[in-house]
Structure 1
């Protein structure tokens, strides 16, 4: 029997450290449909928040009302498409490290773990405070889900989640440093 949506949310938010055993035999479709429903709600809420900000601050920033008619639906569509694309790309990157640690599950199990790890972001990530808290909360959920779905140790799951993040952060800062130093070359003496 597939757990209800409320049970999934409760497990992911409050008792993810007790394991995802009840979701082990769940189908990919069930987890993905659950993710898509939450992503749709998140996109609506995010669009409302950004639209309210644009309406309030738009005149001060000289943003024409006609432009807002294109920007606001664009935010909704970009949020939906970006949420689906980033789910699969992030899961693919994580799955490379799962394979390195000899995980027993396939790519779909990694995507299912990613779906569950996004629950905090999709529920409260549209708020200002939630945007700062939920990435770390989601990584913790993903560690426990990968441990359960792939049969790897928690340490290996932690490494599979944090190594790609560390690589991204290092590359990002190297890029920033390179841009700063390259701009210094062209400064007149």
Structure 2
């Protein structure tokens, strides 16, 4: 039996350590429609926040009003399209590690886990506090969802979530280091 929309949100936010058994036999469509609904609401809210900032600070930043007519819809559609694309790409990366740990589910189960892990971000990620808190909350949700959907241990689910994050962070800092180091070399010439 499919839970109501509000029950799904409550499960994802507050009972994720025990609630994903109910979603084990759920279809991909149900999880994806749930995600798209929240993504649409998030896109509207983030667009409002950015539009308010641009309207308030646009004159000081010398942004012409005509540019706002392009920027504001671009933020909305960019958020929608970026949310969909990033969902599938991040699930693909995570799924590679799930396969290494011999998970039993397919790629769509990993996408379903990613859909549920994004609930905190889509609900409060548009706020300043939410932007800092929700990635960690979402990773915890994803660990429990992967454990349930793929039949891997919780440790394997943790590794499948955190190894790609650690690799990304290491590559990011290596890139920054390379930029700083190259700037130092070119400034001394």
TM-score, normalised on structure 1?
Answer: 0.99
- Separation in 1, partners of 2:95, 2:131: 25
What are the equivalent positions in structure 2 for 1:27-176 lying under 5 Å apart? 27-176=27-176
- Separation in 1, partners of 2:163, 2:109: 19
Aligned to 2:25: 25
- Separation in 2, partners of 1:123, 1:96: 28
Residue 3 of structure 1: how far off its partner (Å): 1.2
How many residue pairs get aligned? The number is 189
Deviations 1:72-97 (A, max 9, x none): 00000000000000000000000000
Task: Structure 1: state its 5+ residue gaps.
Answer: none
- Separation in 2, partners of 1:79, 1:9: 21
**Superposed CA RMSD:** 0.7
Residue 188 of structure 1: how far off its partner (Å): 3.3
Aligned to 1:12: 12
- Separation in 2, partners of 1:126, 1:187: 39
